Structure 1
Amino acid sequence: MQQEEFHGYLLASRGKRLLASLTEGIIYMFVMIGIFLLFGKSFGYYWNRDLQLIDIPVSAITGLVVGAIFYPLFSGNLGHRIFDLKVISSETGMEVNKAPEGAIRELLKYVLGYLLIPVIWLLWDDKKQNLYDKLSKTLVVENN
């Protein structure tokens, strides 16, 4: 199976993107558990709580902050950095490394993640893009 190239970069594989996303999620889960413990809540409270409406705006704010911090540093999020991936513009091929661009992409990712379909879109997409990648006009590629 031949890997596709865009703007001189190889597209990241679906598997590598999944591993990057899972790794990032696990790291953030431990951070959130630490925050809950810091405020006197138990691990069981964190693990057994139901989704609440307030979780969506909290996810939006978290996405904005994470994107604004990590994109200028890594041209992607923490999972991308760990797996040597980066995010580029699908139109120009330039790295997405400005705080506002990263903040918007991560906001879309975190909020659309509640709907599931936008996150698994890459399973059938020819450019291996999730719906939030399409909306933000980005590609996830191997870091050359």
Structure 2
Amino acid sequence: MSTPTPPPGYGPQDPNQPGQYGQYGQPGQQPGYGQPQPPQYGQQPGYGQQPAQYGQQPGYGQPNYPQQYGQPQYGQSGYGQSGYGAPVGNLAEWPVRVGGSLIDGVLVAVPYALGLFLGRSLGNVFLLLFLLVALGVAIWNVVIQQGNTGQTVGKKVVGIKLVDGDTGRPVGPGKAFLRQITHVLDGAACYVGYLWPLWDEKKQTFADKINNTLVVKV
């Protein structure tokens, strides 16, 4: 009498073969197609996902990139105005500005006075020579030096400088020269334009308002 053949899946089978009884009497399971495989050793879980990089913020949407300590946000300046705006709270006081102007005046007055003195005793040639020296000092100090650096000799001594009202940077020789010409308006009407910084919010003279310039502390 022959032994009946058991149906598939029943009876003694090789425990190492998939789809049959596994080890320890537990039925094995053959992995189907399209089903996720368990992660191998050393692999990261999940499909198509990268682990968060060091320093990235979790959450939804765009990550927030932290600002450095003390660094202003884009479109703002450290002084509270847009862009590179000049510091409103750092404006030079009127007495300090007067002190700087007096020093600049002395630089021009010294060669001018020498020209007058030597011209009377030695002739007009010396007068003309020293007048040219005084004019050259004034142009170098007020136009070139102030335009490029924001400071005349007097402003540098008292610790202030001239800047553009929009950018907070030196105005350049051309605008420095134009500002010097428009100081004529400050001298009109009993020099009230030179006194205007005493009560003006931005401490500007008439020439400063026309040229959009500010005098600030260094």
TM-score of Structure 1 vs Structure 2, range by shorter chain: 0.5 to 0.7
How far has the Cα of 1:113 moved from its partner? 4.6
Structure 1 runs of 4+ with >4 Å offset: none
Cα deviation 1:50-86 (Å, max 9, x = unaligned): xxxxxxxxxxx88x83533222453133321221211
Q: Counterpart in 2 of 1:26?
A: 106
Residue 193 of structure 2 is aligned to residue 118 of structure 1: yes
Within the candidate set 148, 157, 160, 1:82 is matched to: 157
Contact 1:67 1:105 in 2 (8 A): no
Q: Counterpart in 2 of 1:46?
A: none
Structure ranking higher in strand proportion:
1
Q: Counterpart in 1 of 2:129?
A: none
The alignment-based identity, stated in percent, is 25
Which structure is higher in RCO with an 8 Å CA cutoff and minimum separation 6? 1
Determine which structure has more spread, i.e. the larger CA radius of gyration: 2
Contact 1:71 1:102 in 2 (8 A): yes
Q: Counterpart in 1 of 2:204?
A: 129
Q: Please state whether the residue corresponding to 1:107 is helix, strand or coil.
A: helix
* Cα distance in 1, alignment partners of residues 167 and 86 from structure 2: 11
TM-score (norm: length of structure 1) = 0.67
Q: Counterpart in 1 of 2:217?
A: 142
Count of residue pairs brought into register by the alignment = 120
Q: Counterpart in 2 of 1:108?
A: 182
TM-score (norm: length of structure 2) = 0.47
How far has the Cα of 1:140 moved from its partner? 0.3
- The within-5 A match list for 1:17-96 is 17-40=97-120, 65=139, 66-96=141-171
Q: Counterpart in 2 of 1:12?
A: 92
**Gaps in structure 2 of 5+ consecutive residues:** 1-78, 122-134
* Cα distance in 2, alignment partners of residues 12 and 68 from structure 1: 20
Would the alpha carbon gap of residues 8 and 136 (structure 1) be closer, same or farther in structure 2, given more than 3 Å must change? closer
* Cα distance in 1, alignment partners of residues 148 and 120 from structure 2: 33
How far has the Cα of 1:106 moved from its partner? 1.7
Q: Please state whether the residue corresponding to 1:133 is helix, strand or coil.
A: helix
* Cα distance in 1, alignment partners of residues 175 and 146 from structure 2: 8
Q: Counterpart in 1 of 2:22?
A: none
